Amino acid sequence: MNKLIVVTGGTKGIGRAILNRFAQAGFDMATCARKQQELTDLKQQLESAYGVKAFVKQADMSVIDQVKDFVKYILALQRPVDVLVNNAGYFVPGSVISEPEGSLESMINSNLYSAYYTSRGLANKMMEQREGHIFNICSIASIKAYPNGGSYAISKFAMLGLSKVLREELKEVGVRVTAVLPGATRTASWDGVDLPDERFMKVEDVAETIFAAHALSKRSVVEEILIRPQLGDI
């Protein structure tokens, strides 16, 4: 049986690149997103291109009940989860002082709580297996405050904290935890920005780095991956 990778928010950007990279290595996969048609299209693409099995479920990961439903869906597959990538989230620029009320709650729900509840729901199986690998997609904003970072930066600082806590809790049972801190990566979040694509990192580079970190022997773990564009932060 193929290994299984679970990626939240897998139809676009970094999430989709991760699914494609692991599919190339023969992993089956499970993912979620808000739009069913995008999930259907992704499932068809992955299965036809790589001959693997893709499991998809519509879910809004900013809604805790839907996060828990996605976890139940994964557990119902009755498959060991070899890799979990907490990728779901979104970015809206703003200032803590002037951003719309509710911005913090919205981004904490999407960027932090989704990872918290997905990890809680699936880590027990990894602990029973005494193996598994959790990747949390943080951000350069997890370690560097910047203008217009607002609630996004707050949520990503917290995401790095979650990763550090999970690392300590799970290391004795053989489950690896890696925080991934990408700088500016060419995704839909940057649409409309007047900068050339060459100024951004490629989503495939982030996916390749994650795959390489997972490919290490189980005696080693890359605790944090910090990746920046060659010319620096934007």
- pLDDT at residue number 190: 66
Helices then strands (H, E): number in the chain? 7, 7
The correct CATH number of 4-227 out of 3.30.70.3270, 3.40.50.720, 3.20.20.70, 3.40.1110.10 is: 3.40.50.720
pLDDT (tens place) for every residue of the chain, 234 residues total? 899 999 999 999 999 999 999 999 999 999 999 999 999 999 999 999 999 999 999 999 999 999 999 999 999 999 999 999 999 998 888 999 999 999 999 999 999 999 999 999 999 999 999 999 999 999 999 999 888 899 999 999 999 999 999 999 999 999 999 999 999 887 766 666 767 878 899 999 999 999 999 999 999 999 999 999 999 988
Using a cut of 0.85, tell me whether the model's pTM lies above it.
yes
CA separation, residue 75 to residues 57, 69, 72, 111, 118 (Å): 13, 10, 5, 22, 11
Q: What is the DSSP letter of 100?
A: P
Tell me which residue of 152, 52, 75 sits closest to 107, measured CA to CA: 152
Task: At 231, list the tokens.
Answer: 């010319």
Do residues 123 and 137 lie in contact, with contact meaning Cβ atoms separated by under 8 Å? no
Q: Which residues contact 214 (CB under 8 A, 6 or more apart)?
A: 83, 133, 135
Residue 197 buriedness (CB in 10 A; 0-12 / 13-18 / 19+): exposed
Rounded distance between C-alpha atoms, residue 95 and residue 155, angstroms: 13
What is the dihedral sign for C-alpha 10, 11, 17, 21? Answer: positive
Q: Which residues contact 52 (CB under 8 A, 6 or more apart)?
A: 2, 23, 26, 27, 28, 29, 46
Do residues 177 and 166 lie in contact, with contact meaning Cβ atoms separated by under 8 Å? yes
Task: At 56, list the tokens.
Answer: 């998809």
Do residues 221 and 178 lie in contact, with contact meaning Cβ atoms separated by under 8 Å? yes
Name the residue ranges covered by the structural domains of the chain.
4-227
Do residues 15 and 31 lie in contact, with contact meaning Cβ atoms separated by under 8 Å? yes
| DSSP code per residue over 176-215 | EEEEEEE-SB-SGGGTT--S-GGGSB-HHHHHHHHHHHHH
